[in-house]
């Protein structure tokens, strides 16, 4: 019989990609569906704290390892008046939200969001409305949030119960304004000029802010490339990041290409880096832009139906249930972000609770982890330190969309804790993939551990009645001998190999 197909990885401590920025493990909270109401915030829930936050959800957010949260949108922000969400809750206006065709009560607003970030230990990424509003309103919001005191808006924040500034550093300058679906959709020239002027004014208010310009809403947008070049022609010197958004629909692709979705993300990232660096050359600038991949996930978008009829309040929207197959593909996206940590220095899993989310809740009932929760939690916990350059030799398989694709998708992190972590996905749905990792200049300092997320049923999922159907399990201890770590990756699996290292001499 022929030997089984196998994969080989070569690495060395001297060859690194870069240091992982903790902001790579961000998420996203939008006023959409039940993300906020009966998700994060449910004052009448038995587990609610004094601020109305669900403590069972807070515990899962902490376990997930999220470091930063983007708020309040998303499409929602492009028609949002931030003033509606501050002050006494019972005096706040109810508004129509045209983005998702719902009623927004504004019961949860800026103060409640800040209470959530502080309770969960998160940094905030705040988006401003550049759809129906402009520089003046963005500057007002910044002054309300960050100016210490002594002005009408900063003192208003104090009167609302927050005498100390919120100190929000990260700001998104609008959302997906290249998209025709967006309230206030703009051409690249219109948006680029607006972004540059908004950024200049915001830096006058608070020079410490870090600003994110909207890139394309996806690599498939007809204006992709031209949008980035035009926007950066106006705003390169005024911004610190450009954004990327990408979602992968299991039902919009053939199965083989879906498993290779990370190929699209990889190409998207490298193309945007090239566009940013071309703009840098044209501007003769010493500054190098970072990438903020501030919306990414698996999304069964083909199941989405546009809202019609009445305007509901916090309806069940986009509550996708993720399978173990989705978790494996999700893991390849995490690996791709880590492989580009030198330029992708912020990222937001969209979203956090209920809406295409790793955490699900039932009103008045329990909260539980979806399958995608586990790869994110492991990456956020173990993916801290230096990402290593890998040389990978892997068998391939054929896909209609991407051609020949490696069965192995992997990265490795030399951790701050002195442990080498290899994140690896076996895309083969039917066969094990033996893996050998050549450790280069690393020396093992203890036994390795192999955690795997897989299931005999590729459609297995976690639900309210079976919340732990799919969870990571520990396999037999991998062998470490003669400078090599060997393990067997089960079919269609997300794998985490952890090897304590001997101190360097």
What's the mean pLDDT in 441-468? Answer: 96
The dihedral of CA 176, 196, 24, 74: what is its sign?
negative
Q: Which two tokens stand for residue 114?
A: 């800040």
Tell me the pLDDT tens digit for each residue of 73-105: 999 999 999 999 999 999 999 999 999 999 999
Global pTM reads 0.97
Rounded to a whole number, what is the largest CA-CA distance in the chain? 80
Q: What is the pLDDT of residue 254?
A: 93
- Give the catalytic positions in this structure: 176, 295
Q: What is the pLDDT of residue 505?
A: 63
Q: Residue 477: beta bridge partners? A: none
Helix (H), strand (E) at residue 202: helix 188-205
Query: Is a pLDDT exceeding 50 seen at residue 355?
Result: yes
385 or 252, greater pLDDT: 385
Query: Is a pLDDT exceeding 90 seen at residue 1?
Result: no
What's the mean pLDDT in 501-505? Answer: 83
Q: How far apart are CA 110 and CA 250, in angstroms?
A: 35
Q: How far apart are CA 248 and CA 264, in angstroms?
A: 9
Query: Is a pLDDT exceeding 70 seen at residue 144?
Result: yes
Closest to 81 (Cα-Cα) out of 18, 144, 11: 144
- Decide if 464 contacts 36 (C-beta within 8 A): no
- Decide if 489 contacts 433 (C-beta within 8 A): yes
Q: Which two tokens stand for residue 58?
A: 């807070």
Q: Which pLDDT band, with edges at 50, 70 and 90, does 306 fall under?
A: low
Q: Across all residues in the chain, what is the average pLDDT?
A: 96
Q: Is 134 exposed, middle or buried (0-12, 13-18, 19+ CB in 10 A)?
A: middle
How many C-alpha atoms does 127 have within 13 Å on its Cβ side?
Answer: 30
Secondary structure (DSSP) of 232-270: HHHHGGG-SEEEEEEEE-TTSS-HHHHHTTHHHHHHHHH
Other CB atoms within 10 A of residue 418 CB: 14
- Tell me the pairing of strands 433-438 and 7-10: parallel
Q: Which two tokens stand for residue 501?
A: 């290292």
The dihedral of CA 336, 338, 340, 345: what is its sign?
positive
For 488, residues 6+ apart whose C-beta sits below 8 A from its C-beta are: 432, 433, 434, 435, 475
Other CB atoms within 10 A of residue 497 CB: 25
Tell me the pLDDT tens digit for each residue of 254-303: 999 999 999 999 999 999 999 999 999 999 999 999 999 999 999 999 88
Q: How far apart are CA 262 and CA 254, in angstroms?
A: 14
Q: Is 38 exposed, middle or buried (0-12, 13-18, 19+ CB in 10 A)?
A: buried
Task: Report CA dihedral (387, 493, 334, 476) to the nearest 10 degrees.
Answer: -40
Closest to 77 (Cα-Cα) out of 52, 95, 92: 95
Beta strands in 74-180 (DSSP E): 95-97, 102-104, 123-128, 170-173
Beta strands in 265-415 (DSSP E): 290-298, 344-350, 359-361, 367-369, 385-388, 391-393, 396-399, 403-406, 408-415
Q: What are the b/e assignments for 272-291, b being 16+ CB within 10 Å? A: bbebbeebbeeeeeeeebbb
């Amino acid at each position: 019989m022929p030997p089984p197909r196998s994969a080989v990885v070569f690495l060395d401590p001297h060859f690194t990609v870069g240091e992982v920025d903790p902001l790579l493990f961000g998420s996203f909270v939008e006023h959409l569906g039940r993300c906020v109401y009966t998700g994060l915030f449910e004052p009448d829930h038995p587990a609610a704290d004094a601020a109305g936050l669900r403590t069972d959800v807070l515990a899962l957010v902490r376990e997930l390892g999220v470091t930063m949260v983007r708020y309040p949108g998303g499409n929602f922000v492009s028609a949002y008046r931030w003033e509606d969400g501050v002050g006494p809750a019972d005096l706040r206006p109810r508004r129509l939200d045209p983005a998702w065709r719902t009623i927004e009560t504004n019961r949860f607003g800026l103060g409640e969001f800040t209470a959530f970030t502080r309770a969960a230990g998160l940094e905030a990424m705040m988006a401003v409305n550049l759809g129906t509003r402009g520089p003046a309103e963005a500057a007002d919001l910044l002054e309300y949030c960050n100016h210490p005191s002594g002005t009408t808006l900063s003192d208003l924040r104090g009167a609302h119960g927050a005498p100390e500034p919120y100190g929000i550093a990260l700001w998104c300058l609008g959302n997906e304004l290249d998209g025709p679906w967006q309230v206030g959709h703009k051409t690249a020239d219109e948006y680029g000029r607006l972004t540059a002027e908004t950024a200049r004014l915001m830096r006058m208010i608070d020079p410490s802010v870090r600003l994110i310009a909207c890139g394309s809403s996806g690599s498939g947008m007809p204006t992709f490339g031209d949008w980035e070049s035009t926007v950066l022609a106006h705003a390169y010197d005024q911004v610190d990041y450009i954004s990327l958004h990408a979602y992968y629909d299991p039902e919009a692709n053939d199965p083989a290409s879906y498993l290779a979705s990370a190929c699209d993300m990889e190409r998207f990232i490298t193309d945007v880096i090239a566009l940013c660096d071309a703009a840098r050359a044209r501007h003769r600038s010493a500054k190098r832009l970072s990438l903020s991949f501030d919306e990414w996930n698996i999304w069964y978008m083909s199941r989405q139906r546009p809202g019609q009829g009445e305007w509901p309040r916090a309806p069940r929207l986009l509550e996708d249930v993720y399978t173990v197959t989705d978790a494996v593909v999700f893991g390849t996206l995490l690996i791709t972000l880590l492989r580009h940590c030198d330029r992708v220095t912020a990222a937001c899993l969209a979203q956090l609770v209920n809406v295409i989310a790793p955490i699900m809740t039932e009103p008045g009932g329990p909260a539980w982890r979806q399958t995608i929760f586990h790869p994110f939690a492991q990456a956020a916990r173990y993916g801290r330190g230096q990402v290593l350059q890998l040389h990978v030799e892997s068998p391939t398989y054929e896909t209609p969309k991407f051609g020949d694709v490696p069965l192995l998708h992997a990265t490795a992190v030399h951790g701050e804790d002195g442990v080498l972590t290899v994140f690896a996905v076996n895309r083969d749905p039917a066969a094990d993939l033996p893996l050998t990792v050549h450790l280069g200049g690393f020396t093992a300092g203890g036994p390795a551990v192999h955690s795997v997320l897989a299931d005999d049923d590729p459609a297995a999922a976690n639900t309210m009645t079976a919340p732990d159907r799919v969870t990571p399990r520990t396999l037999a201890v991998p062998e470490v001998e003669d400078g090599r770590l060997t393990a067997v990756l089960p079919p269609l699996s997300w794998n985490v190999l952890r090897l304590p290292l001997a101190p360097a001499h």
